[in-house]
Structure 1
């Protein structure tokens, strides 16, 4: 019996893959993943069996991982970002339950899009925040809307995943309009596209102007709370120190 390591490769660049994740890829007999993510780590795939596929073939990839592991292989299932955040770890476990599989499963964390993007924007996640995906492929839009209302009304900083695609051009507009019901249009918004990659783009704007910016499926949109402010083109969400301590000047 082999094993499955569900590996997070971080936001994109090899420099942002953790040593543990990289070691798992190097030690694997079989590497399985979405073709776009595998293309980012080709230098580590030599002499391995590589199984790649396109979007919306996640079930097939995970099923193949079990077939390979049950035949004795050490398998690395590659996810971008962190495999436990909108990625492959959950599906691997769901399929393990369905198969009642004895394959050993390990989840190897990676830098998630939200904290990788936050680092480029300054310090927008210093207080309570939520992550919400706008993809309605697996979650009904009515549920997503309900969550947006709840997060916005509770003054969470909001990290939006999967904000816009060719099929879902209006969802980010609806999300902005929902948040604008609870927050001023001057609220800072950060948009990071293709974090750490060669085509990385970083924009700091406002709730009023965010839809004028380029947003796509490689983007993560961070909407500040009522306390978030900008300084030298960075976003800062205070943790509350100024109200409790005298800050040094």
Structure 2
């Protein structure tokens, strides 16, 4: 019987690193430490470029979108005898590389000395800029139908917006699927008031950061501001826009007002 490939437990290590929203200042010390320890750093070119100050003396392997499987295999192969970090934007376990790498290891039989290093997710990074839109129960959903059939996504949207909780939308609109976001907003309008707050955050904590706070009725009429660099948070039934002295923010009460006086 042919033996399964195996990673050396005393020499090799494979880190799956969440790099957060993009700014090194928002990476965890554990993520920075894993990259500094690594001999090789592998990842999408966009995320690799953001890590440039940490990469001196490292062997860097860049790839593009759509090459995730090859990236995972290369990282596993190298980690037989070296310390390798495969990087993933946000948190690697949320629409990131952890699932791909671990599934590949499972299917191929590699006994990897692997560790997943968490990171700040795109949704929580966007939420911090918007105020507190996700302070209680909420749903995250991706509108990309590259891996998930659109009819399944539509069903999930129906259920999510029926719950009356905030919904954070990943991958809202691209050139290849320009209409998915509009369909999602039509579904939301069947369940929520047109006055429901909506936050759009582009490039959170990166160069070119943009922040828009609007309402569901307005965004359903004009979604020109939304693209693949955006995270969109649609508020829930209790969400509201707070206009403070220097900014607008979205607040979703967690329920303290029902228990305490303040």
- Normalised to the residue count of structure 1, the TM-score between the two structures is 0.97
Change (3 A) 1:213 1:231: farther
What is aligned with 1:10?
Answer: 20
Gaps of 5+ in 1: none
What is aligned with 1:149?
Answer: 158
What is aligned with 1:215?
Answer: 226
Contact 2:141–2:170 (8 Å) recurs in 1: yes
Displacement of 1:241 in angstroms is 1.4
Q: Secondary structure at the match of 1:92?
A: helix
What is aligned with 2:210?
Answer: 201
Higher mean displacement: 40-49 or 191-200: 40-49
What is aligned with 2:65?
Answer: 55
1:123 aligns with 2:132: yes
Q: Secondary structure at the match of 2:52?
A: helix
Counterparts of 1:96-135 in structure 2 under 5 Å?
A: 96-135=105-144
How far apart in 2 are the matches of 1:244 and 1:67?
A: 55
Q: Secondary structure at the match of 2:217?
A: coil
1:186 aligns with 2:174: no
Counterparts of 1:5-44 in structure 2 under 5 Å?
A: 5-44=15-54
What is aligned with 1:66?
Answer: 76
Displacement of 1:213 in angstroms is 4.6
Structure 1 segments, 4+ long, off by >3 Å, are none
How many residues end up aligned between the 2 structures? 246
How far apart in 2 are the matches of 1:212 and 1:167?
A: 16
- Normalised to the residue count of structure 2, the TM-score between the two structures is 0.92
How far apart in 2 are the matches of 1:225 and 1:205?
A: 14
How far apart in 1 are the matches of 2:57 and 2:255?
A: 52
What is aligned with 2:259?
Answer: 244
How far apart in 1 are the matches of 2:223 and 2:100?
A: 36
What is aligned with 1:227?
Answer: 238
Q: Secondary structure at the match of 1:177?
A: helix
Gaps of 5+ in 2: 1-7
Displacement of 1:111 in angstroms is 0.5
